[in-house]
Amino acid sequence: MVKSMYIHIPFCKSICSYCDFAKILYNEKYVMPYLEKLKNEVIDAYDGKEINTLYIGGGTPSCLEETELIYLSEIIKTIKLSDTYEFTFECNIEDISPDLLILLKDMKVNRLSIGIESFNKCKLDFMNRKADFKDVQQKINLVRSYGFDNINLDLMYGLPGETLKDTKKDLKYILKLNPEHISTYSLIIEDHTMCKIRSDENIDPEEEIKMYEYIVKTLKKKGYNHYEVSNFSKSGYQSKHNMTYWNNEEYYGFGLGASGYIEGFRYDNTKNLDAYLLSKYRESEVLMSKSDMMENEVMLGLRKMEGINLQEFFDKYEINMQDAFPIKPLIKNKELIYKDGYVYINPKYIYVMNELLLKLI
Return the domain boundaries, the chain: 4-246, 307-361
Report the pLDDT averaged over residues 95-110.
Answer: 97
Report the pLDDT averaged over residues 233-254.
Answer: 98
Residues contacting 207, CB < 8 A, separation 6+: 158, 163, 164
Residues contacting 257, CB < 8 A, separation 6+: 8, 10, 21, 22, 268, 269, 270, 271
% of the chain at pLDDT higher than 90: 88
pLDDT in tens, 325-346: 999 999 999 999 999 999 999 9
Question: Are the C-beta atoms of residues 250 and 231 closer than 8 Å to each other?
Answer: no
DSSP string, 326-354: -HHHHHHTTSEEEETTEEEE-GGGGGGHH
CA dist., res. 56 & res. 88, Å (int): 6
The per-residue pLDDT for 140 is 97
pLDDT band at 324 (very low <50, low <70, confident <90, very high): very high
% of the chain at pLDDT higher than 70: 100
Q: Give the alpha-carbon dihedral of 276, 281, 283, 287, to 10 degrees.
A: 170
DSSP string, 148-208: ---EEEEEEE--TT--HHHHHHHHHHHHHT--SEEEEEE----TTSHHHHTT--PPPHHHH
Report the pLDDT averaged over residues 38-51.
Answer: 96
pLDDT band at 184 (very low <50, low <70, confident <90, very high): very high
The per-residue pLDDT for 188 is 84
Q: Kindly list the distances between the CA atom of residue 247 and the CA atoms of 169, 188, 254, in Å, as whole numbers in the listed order.
A: 33, 24, 20
The per-residue pLDDT for 235 is 97
pLDDT exceeds 90 at position 7? yes
The per-residue pLDDT for 193 is 86
CA dist., res. 93 & res. 80, Å (int): 29
Report the pLDDT averaged over residues 97-123.
Answer: 96
The per-residue pLDDT for 191 is 85
212 three-class SS? helix
The per-residue pLDDT for 43 is 96
pLDDT in tens, 252-282: 999 999 999 999 999 999 999 999 999 999 9
pLDDT band at 61 (very low <50, low <70, confident <90, very high): very high
Q: What CATH number belongs to 4-246?
A: 3.80.30.20
pLDDT exceeds 80 at position 243? yes
pTM: 0.96
pLDDT band at 197 (very low <50, low <70, confident <90, very high): confident
pLDDT exceeds 80 at position 322? yes
CA dist., res. 183 & res. 189, Å (int): 18
The per-residue pLDDT for 220 is 97
pLDDT exceeds 90 at position 351? no
The per-residue pLDDT for 207 is 94
The per-residue pLDDT for 159 is 94
The per-residue pLDDT for 26 is 93
